[in-house]
Amino acid sequence: MARKVRPDPVGPGGLPPLSEQLQWRRRARNGSGRSLTDEDVEWVYQTLHSPAVPFDCGTKCREHNGGIPFCCDHSVAVPVAYEPELRLLERRTDLWHRWVPISRMDQRMVDEVDPYNIHVVCKGVDHCERDNRSISCRIFPFYPLTTRSGEILGLVYNEVLDSRCWLHDRQRMIAASFVVENLTFWHFLFEHLPEERELFVGISTQLRRTHSTAGTKPQVLRPEGIFEAPTRDGEGPLRYLGPLESHRLGLSGRMVPIGVTAQ
């Protein structure tokens, strides 16, 4: 996500909690030296505007978290903004400020990313400005699953909030327009920041291993519907599982070339 989930000190049985085991660095170290320009960030903000579902899903989960949607609660998850993104946001709004780590675990989260990636907090859900949400807010709760060679297969659910996110088992409800916009964004990002592609190739490999061990297969969302992805190296045809509900509603959205043959 868009978000780094704040780890609990320890999970059941002394193991790291599930959210931490599944934790992934959303942002790579900026090894290529390439950067997003203001125009790039503006373009991304214009591109990522559809909600994941056609209503405020925060109304579904907030009742289980003292009135605050889990992904907007900074004691649960902290968004990360690109340095040029934060610069742009600071010119547009006073909604955001840099997050100040307090505990050793907080500091560990900061140490995992380089200065190009900045943990940020907003003024809170009552002050949310839709047009000034971070990229992190706009893409949650999905990220791209890639093949070993870096081809994007589709969007996969981000487990960092596990079942606390109301959408975790309702992926058919995700709007095709959201999927299209997100895939367009990830293609753009991988072109502009190659280290992000490398990061997600690694995350995808890890996810496939987890599924392989469990005897399951990752499910990906594409504009055409939900598919089962191969586990070995991600190469090969996807198996069609069914449509997104938005197809039934005639809200398929614009198609983008994805470059993977679907069955």
Q: How many residues bind ligand SF4 (CB under 6 A)?
A: 20
Would you state the structure tokens that stand for residue 1, as one six-digit string? 């996500």
Compute the Cα dihedral for 100, 103, 109, 112 and give only its sign.
Answer: positive
Residue whose CB is less far from ligand SF4, 161 or 199:
161
Q: Is the dihedral of CA 160, 24, 145, 125 positive or negative?
A: positive
CA 249 – CA 263 distance, rounded (Å): 23
* Buried b / exposed e along 144-180 (16+ C-beta atoms within 10 A): bbbbeeebbbbbbbbbbbeebbbbeeebbbbbbbbbb
Q: Figure out which of the listed residues 18, 48, 110, 125 binds ligand SF4, where binding follows CB under 6 A.
A: 125
Nearer to ligand SF4, 89 or 201 (CB): 89
Q: Mark residues 132-151: x for contact with ligand SF4 by CB under 6 A, - for none.
A: -x---x--xx----------
Choices 23-31, 86-94, 120-128, 220-228 (CB under 6 A): range interacting with ligand SF4: 120-128
- The minimum distance between CB 7 and ligand SF4, in angstroms, equals 17
- Kindly tell me which of 143 and 190 has the beta carbon lying closer to ligand SF4: 143
Instruction: Give the residue, chosen from 48, 128, 173, 256, that forms a contact with ligand SF4 under the rule CB under 6 A.
Output: 128
- Considering beta carbons, is residue 48 or 262 the nearer one to ligand SF4? 48
Q: How far is the CB of 32 from ligand SF4 (least distance, A)?
A: 27
Closest distance to ligand SF4 from the beta carbon of 60 (Å): 5
Contact pattern for ligand SF4 over residues 59 through 98, marking x by CB under 6 A? -xx-------xxxx------x-------------------
**Quick one: 71 or 175, whose CB is closer to ligand SF4?**
71
CA distance 74 to 68: 10
Sign of CA dihedral 251, 254, 260, 261: positive
Closest CA to 142 of 76, 202, 219: 219
Query: Which string of x and - marks every residue 12-51 that binds ligand SF4 (by CB under 6 A)?
Result: ----------------------------------------
Yes or no: say if 72 and 125 are a contact pair by the CB < 8 Å rule.
Answer: yes
C-beta closer to ligand SF4: residue 72 or 180: 72
Q: By CB under 6 A, what part of segment 228-247 binds ligand SF4? A: none
State yes or no: residue 260 binds ligand SF4 (CB under 6 A): no
Q: What residues line the site for ligand SF4 (CB under 6 A)?
A: 57-58, 60-61, 69-72, 79, 122, 125, 128, 133, 137, 140-141, 161, 165-167
